[in-house]
Amino acid sequence: MSNLVRVSLSLEENLLENLSRLVKKNGYENRSEYIRDLIRDQMTREQWKSGGEVIGTLSLVYNHHRRGLTEKLVELQHHCGCRVLASTHVHLSHEICAEMVMLRGDGNEIGKLANAMKSLRGVLHADLSMSTTGRNIS
């Protein structure tokens, strides 16, 4: 890390003890690394809210025997206001499939696509993992 700057902050003793437990539980070497990641996580959330370019991974579990569902999922991906970077489709059973779709674009557009896909009949579970392109998160 270049230009490392030391800062201090004041915390109640109980809060500091909880922070130390979280640092250890999550396998961090020190509090600074943990706090840096917390800040980056918050910055990523802010990027999603502000409409900046972000990436996300949408995980879907669905019944592919539901009439027309597969076609609707593909249609939504083709006409979303974001770019589909990659998609992986696996068969979990005779009826159930899982699909992971990596998306890049405006956070609001990705969220709209995730909600549209989640609300389709036959989609059993959908989860959107938000991430960043890495810009402005150093």
Whole-number pLDDT of residue 138? 61
DSSP secondary structure code for residue 6 in this structure: -
Whole-number pLDDT of residue 134? 79
| Full set of structural domains in the chain with CATH | 13-49 (1.10.1220), 52-132 (3.30.70.1150)
33-89 pLDDT tens trace: 999 999 988 988 888 888 778 999 999 999 999 999 999 999 999 998 889 999 999
Q: Is the pLDDT of residue 136 over 70?
A: no
DSSP secondary structure code for residue 126 in this structure: E
The CA distance from 18 to 134, in Å, is 29
Per the structure block, which two tokens stand in for 115?
């909600």
Distances (CA, A) of 86 to 47, 55, 99, 120: 22, 11, 10, 21
